[in-house]
A and B are shown apart, each in its own frame.
Chain A
Amino acid sequence: MSTAVFDRAETKSWRVPSWIGPIAVLAVAYGVMPFIGGAYIFEAILTPFLALSLAAVGLNLLTGYAGQLSLGSAAFMAVGAYAAYNFNLRIHELPLIFSIALGGLSASAIGIAFGLPSLRLRGFYLAVSTLAAQFFVQWALTKFGWFSNNNASGVIDAPPLSILGVSFDDPVGRYLFALTVVTVLTALSYRLVNTQTGHNFIAVRDNELAARVIGIPILKTKLLAFGISSFIIGVAGALWAFAYLRTVEPAGFNLDRSFEILFIIIIGGLASIRGAFFGAALIVVFPLILSRVGSLLLGGHFDSGVLDMSQRIVLGSLIIVFLIAEPDGLTALWDRLTKGFSRTSRQQPQ
């Protein structure tokens, strides 16, 4: 696995500066998309894409950088969403953005609690213990009606999105809201992985014993990774609930969602912030494109069940092809396509 630290060392001085890419993407996202996209693009593609990308960024900090395998992402999303809902519901004067932040902090607390076993457990064993978070949270949210304001169905209705009196309650507004939150947290994550803390994460991942020997506080680093990662995932859960679905039930945050987020970072590229976005694009957006193209071309001939099954086959095969072509994920593939073959080849571990 090539790490972010080495990636940076590879950068040659004559190349375009690395900040150009993100700035260009942001310029398009803020300056162009709101004017050309239709409601469908925002409501069904971009908003869920942003929410899951953010969750993947969070998991990538934990799994990709700090090397702690977690299957509890959906649980942390659920904690974020339900906590933000409850803060918003029960503290009337609290601005929504603070509710979301408090939701993230609640997820963070739960994340740290379930991160404690990581001090003793590694790899698959740790994954199994984070699985406990997955089941526990879903159970608690279902069992105690208080979390969903005693709604008979256990479904919560998201509050309207507005900040300082400015309403974001239309497709573009929700998209811009999600985009802003995602941009800020992604920028902070990017900053984080390039600080000493971020390097500590990588050190713990690559060789825990060596990291301990050179004086990195293992306990603190691991719990910090769990805390920060869960915070980001919790905020992503709040975005998923408030900006995308606008209603949410505990079953919406099941184990499948945890796996989905894990697959996003594996396919996108472990230990890469960009990878989270590439992976989310493949896992979230691509099936939609496939399904629309499929029903456009073949909708008249096959029923929707057959189409759906074929899409799964196509998607599954594509994922295998991508991973064979580039085990380091889409982000490495992208590097190769954009930077040219000869220079990036030196990075290949094979």
Chain B
Amino acid sequence: MTMIPFLFAPWRPAVSYFGSLRTIARTAVLAISFAIPIAAPAKAAEQYFPLQSYRVGPYAAGGTGFFGGFIDYLNLVNIRDGGVNGVKLTWDECETQYEVERGVECYERQKSHPAIAAWNPLSVGIAYAMIDRIAQDKTPLITINHGRTDSTDGRVFPYVFPLLLNPYSETSGIINYIAGKEGGLDKLRGKKIVVLYHGSPYGKETIPIYELLAQKYGFTVSQIEVPHPGNEQQAQWLTIRREKPDFVVLRGWGVMNPVALKTAQKTGFPVDHIVGNVWSNSEEDVIPAGSAAKGYVAITTQASGAEYPVLQEIIKTVYGAGKGNLDDKKRIGSVYHNLGIVNGILNVEAIRIAQEKFGHRTLTGDEVRWGFEHLRLDEVRVAALGAKGLFHSINVTWDNHEGDGRVTFQQWDGAKWKVVSDWISPDWALLRPIIEKSAAAYAAEHGITPRTAADAETASR
């Protein structure tokens, strides 16, 4: 007989029943502890944001910045205004690490909380997994600047909102920008563009639209995948070197971006001919690349910098009170932080608009959905919110869930981003029929009857 003198040794001489009873007791305690919902019962007036955030893993830079900005703005509204018309904003975080399984678990965990306003997973994979779940639960799903493109069609996807910029619009904006540099859309003929994309649902989303635009404008496109997470790209950049493209579009995410810029430098591709997409446009993407990033241009929907009034208020009110969410104060006003703040503005304004219709109280998810479908922030309203210049405007309707967001381009000068273009509109008229066709196919596959404007006007309590 061998005894292992360890944790379990003291149990052994005891009659086995005690051991098993104890085990059962412990199991029961654990079982009870997770059977109790985390949420305390809803107070009189509260609107809750379930945040499926990610602060660890390969995409933590994006997660901490975005959710930091979002939380900072919610805090600002709570501290400065006492909530939205007296309704306090609450939230809790559930760590997803950008993994679909964890995101789904978080969804199931957080959805038992009452008074959910909207979901903001910031992950295409998680958003895809949530689409039929949120449709059943009637709560909005916000995929700002990303997501499933055809969810722009609100007739088929009543609860999904790819706000500001869906992937197709982004693609169109980038191609228009490249055309501008070449001297017009007709100058694109015969040019060669390589798209280097992240090997994930997010990265692949734009493959068909690049093909389509290439046909339309007569340039050749070659799309190369970088497997997740993308910290080794020698092979891809050697291929690019062989192909000698006029431009490379970097459709990256996380660590893939600085590695791409550095590898481009190593293989001798000029950095000012690389155009970054909306998830390759942050300080976290260029600073690690050092000098390799100087001159790199990327698209964005929101400017960076902390000079905007809303940022100043956040610094004064939220960080002044020691409630700021970013550990590193230098990241205030960075691209992801500002995107989180813009996302906060859009979510809060949707609630405010819905409250004007349904009353100053806690709203149901379906009522918040109505708010998002009437989210019209023109430049005057944006300025009143202290965000003039931070983002342009948005105009969401019941059947256009993107809201005609404008884009701009910014260039990294080695220390900060400098805006190098006006606010540009993507070619929505060209994209809309493609989106409607894809949405119609989804509706047919899933037996969905598209909504009408009248259906969209009513919201269930």
Q: Tell me, rounded to whole Å, the shortest Cβ–Cβ distance linking B32 to chain A.
A: 11
- The answer to whether A340 touches B60, judged by C-beta atoms less than 8 angstroms apart, is no
- The answer to whether B112 touches A295, judged by C-beta atoms less than 8 angstroms apart, is no
Chain B 1-30 against A: per-residue CB contact (8 Å), 1 yes, 0 no?
110101110011101100110010000001
What is the CA–CA distance of A249 and B203 in the complex, to the nearest angstrom? 12
- The answer to whether A296 touches B128, judged by C-beta atoms less than 8 angstroms apart, is no
- The answer to whether A324 touches B148, judged by C-beta atoms less than 8 angstroms apart, is no
- Contacts of B445 on A, CB cut-off 8 Å? 157
What is the CA–CA distance of A348 and B34 in the complex, to the nearest angstrom? 35
**Among B56, B94, B105, which residue has the most Cβ atoms of chain A within 10 A?**
B105
What is the CA–CA distance of A309 and B54 in the complex, to the nearest angstrom? 12
What is the CA–CA distance of A9 and B399 in the complex, to the nearest angstrom? 69
Chain A 324-350 against B: per-residue CB contact (8 Å), 1 yes, 0 no?
111000000100111111000100101
Q: Is B427 an interface residue (CB 8 A)?
A: no
Q: Is A11 an interface residue (CB 8 A)?
A: no
Q: Is B378 an interface residue (CB 8 A)?
A: no
- Contacts of A153 on B, CB cut-off 8 Å? 124, 128, 148, 201-202, 204-205
- The answer to whether A303 touches B93, judged by C-beta atoms less than 8 angstroms apart, is yes
- Contacts of B101 on A, CB cut-off 8 Å? 48, 245, 252
Q: Is A119 an interface residue (CB 8 A)?
A: no
* Nearest B residue (CB) for A281: B27
Known interface pairs A40-B109, A340-B15; A308-B2 also in contact (CB < 8 Å): no
- Contacts of A345 on B, CB cut-off 8 Å? 1-2
Known interface pairs A152-B205, A153-B205, A292-B33; A341-B55 also in contact (CB < 8 Å): no
Chain B 172-214 against A: per-residue CB contact (8 Å), 1 yes, 0 no?
0000000000000000000000000001111011111000000
- Contacts of A288 on B, CB cut-off 8 Å? 34, 105
Q: Is B228 an interface residue (CB 8 A)?
A: yes
Q: Is B145 an interface residue (CB 8 A)?
A: no
- The answer to whether A309 touches B56, judged by C-beta atoms less than 8 angstroms apart, is yes
Chain A 140-171 against B: per-residue CB contact (8 Å), 1 yes, 0 no?
00100000000011110100000000000000
- Contacts of B55 on A, CB cut-off 8 Å? 303-306, 308
- Of residues 242 to 263 in A, which have CB atoms within 8 Å of B's CB atoms? 244-247, 249, 251-252
What is the CA–CA distance of A15 and B93 in the complex, to the nearest angstrom? 49
Q: B4: which of A247, A299, A325 is its contact (CB, 8 Å)?
A: A325
- Contacts of A208 on B, CB cut-off 8 Å? none
- The answer to whether A289 touches B33, judged by C-beta atoms less than 8 angstroms apart, is yes
- The answer to whether A321 touches B7, judged by C-beta atoms less than 8 angstroms apart, is yes
* Nearest B residue (CB) for A340: B16
- The answer to whether A304 touches B94, judged by C-beta atoms less than 8 angstroms apart, is yes
What is the CA–CA distance of A309 and B112 in the complex, to the nearest angstrom? 25
Q: Is B97 an interface residue (CB 8 A)?
A: yes
- Of residues 288 to 304 in A, which have CB atoms within 8 Å of B's CB atoms? 288-289, 291-293, 295-296, 299, 303-304
- Of residues 57 to 98 in B, which have CB atoms within 8 Å of A's CB atoms? 60, 64, 92-95, 97
Q: B56: which of A246, A305, A348 is its contact (CB, 8 Å)?
A: A305
- The answer to whether A142 touches B15, judged by C-beta atoms less than 8 angstroms apart, is no
* Nearest B residue (CB) for A149: B445
Q: A155: which of B4, B6, B128, B132 is its contact (CB, 8 Å)?
A: B128
- The answer to whether B92 touches A337, judged by C-beta atoms less than 8 angstroms apart, is no
What is the CA–CA distance of A152 and B225 in the complex, to the nearest angstrom? 14
- The answer to whether B200 touches A249, judged by C-beta atoms less than 8 angstroms apart, is yes
Known interface pairs A152-B207, A247-B128, A305-B95; A348-B33 also in contact (CB < 8 Å): no
Q: How many A residues are at the interface, by size bracket?
A: 35 or more
- Contacts of A252 on B, CB cut-off 8 Å? 100-101, 125
Q: Is A38 an interface residue (CB 8 A)?
A: yes
* Nearest B residue (CB) for A154: B204
* Nearest A residue (CB) for B1: A345
What is the CA–CA distance of A132 and B110 in the complex, to the nearest angstrom? 38
- Of residues 154 to 211 in A, which have CB atoms within 8 Å of B's CB atoms? 154-155, 157
How many residues of chain B are within 8 Å of chain A by beta carbon? Answer: 61
- Contacts of A336 on B, CB cut-off 8 Å? 8, 12
Q: Is B443 an interface residue (CB 8 A)?
A: no
- Contacts of B12 on A, CB cut-off 8 Å? 336, 341
* Nearest A residue (CB) for B150: A152
- Contacts of A333 on B, CB cut-off 8 Å? 8
- Contacts of A307 on B, CB cut-off 8 Å? 95
Question: What secondary structure prevails in chain A residues at the interface with B?
Answer: helix
Q: Is A44 an interface residue (CB 8 A)?
A: yes
Q: Is B430 an interface residue (CB 8 A)?
A: no
- Contacts of B97 on A, CB cut-off 8 Å? 308
Known interface pairs A44-B105, A153-B148, A308-B97; A142-B205 also in contact (CB < 8 Å): no
Q: Is B304 an interface residue (CB 8 A)?
A: no
- The answer to whether A295 touches B108, judged by C-beta atoms less than 8 angstroms apart, is no
- The answer to whether A337 touches B95, judged by C-beta atoms less than 8 angstroms apart, is no
What is the CA–CA distance of A334 and B128 in the complex, to the nearest angstrom? 40
Q: Is B446 an interface residue (CB 8 A)?
A: yes
What is the CA–CA distance of A249 and B95 in the complex, to the nearest angstrom? 20
What is the CA–CA distance of A324 and B36 in the complex, to the nearest angstrom? 33
What is the CA–CA distance of A307 and B201 in the complex, to the nearest angstrom? 28
What is the CA–CA distance of A64 and B225 in the complex, to the nearest angstrom? 37
- Contacts of A245 on B, CB cut-off 8 Å? 100-101, 104, 129
Known interface pairs A247-B129, A308-B55, A341-B13; A293-B33 also in contact (CB < 8 Å): yes
Q: B16: which of A309, A324, A341 is its contact (CB, 8 Å)?
A: A341
What is the CA–CA distance of A296 and B109 in the complex, to the nearest angstrom? 12
Q: Is B44 an interface residue (CB 8 A)?
A: no
- Contacts of B206 on A, CB cut-off 8 Å? 152
Chain A 41-76 against B: per-residue CB contact (8 Å), 1 yes, 0 no?
101110010000000000000000000000000000
What is the CA–CA distance of A337 and B16 in the complex, to the nearest angstrom? 6
- Contacts of A44 on B, CB cut-off 8 Å? 104-105, 108-109
Q: Is A39 an interface residue (CB 8 A)?
A: yes
Q: A142: which of B37, B105, B225 is its contact (CB, 8 Å)?
A: B225
- The answer to whether A40 touches B8, judged by C-beta atoms less than 8 angstroms apart, is no
Q: B20: which of A38, A295, A304, A337 is its contact (CB, 8 Å)?
A: A337
- The answer to whether A348 touches B1, judged by C-beta atoms less than 8 angstroms apart, is yes
- Contacts of B201 on A, CB cut-off 8 Å? 153-155, 249
- The answer to whether A251 touches B204, judged by C-beta atoms less than 8 angstroms apart, is no
Q: Is B35 an interface residue (CB 8 A)?
A: yes
Q: A293: which of B30, B94, B112 is its contact (CB, 8 Å)?
A: B30
Q: Tell me, rounded to whole Å, the shortest Cβ–Cβ distance linking A172 to chain B.
A: 14
- Contacts of A41 on B, CB cut-off 8 Å? 35
Q: B38: which of A142, A295, A305 is its contact (CB, 8 Å)?
A: A295
Q: Tell me, rounded to whole Å, the shortest Cβ–Cβ distance linking A80 to chain B.
A: 17
11 contacts between A and B (CB under 8 A): A41-B35, A44-B109, A152-B205, A157-B446, A246-B133, A303-B325, A304-B95, A305-B55, A305-B64, A345-B1, A350-B2
Residues of B within 8 A of A (CB): 1-2, 4, 6-8, 11-13, 15-16, 19-20, 23, 30, 33-38, 53, 55-56, 60, 64, 92-95, 97, 100-101, 104-105, 108-109, 112, 124-125, 128-129, 131-133, 148-149, 199-202, 204-208, 225, 228, 325, 445-446
Residues of A within 8 A of B (CB): 38-41, 43-45, 48, 142, 152-155, 157, 244-247, 249, 251-252, 288-289, 291-293, 295-296, 299, 303-309, 321, 324-326, 333, 336-341, 345, 348, 350
The 5 A-B residue pairs whose C-beta atoms are closest, nearest first, are: A305-B55, A153-B201, A44-B108, A340-B16, A304-B93
Q: A38-B35, A44-B104, A45-B34 are in contact. List 7 more A-B contacts (CB 8 A).
A: A48-B101, A153-B128, A153-B201, A246-B133, A304-B93, A336-B12, A345-B1
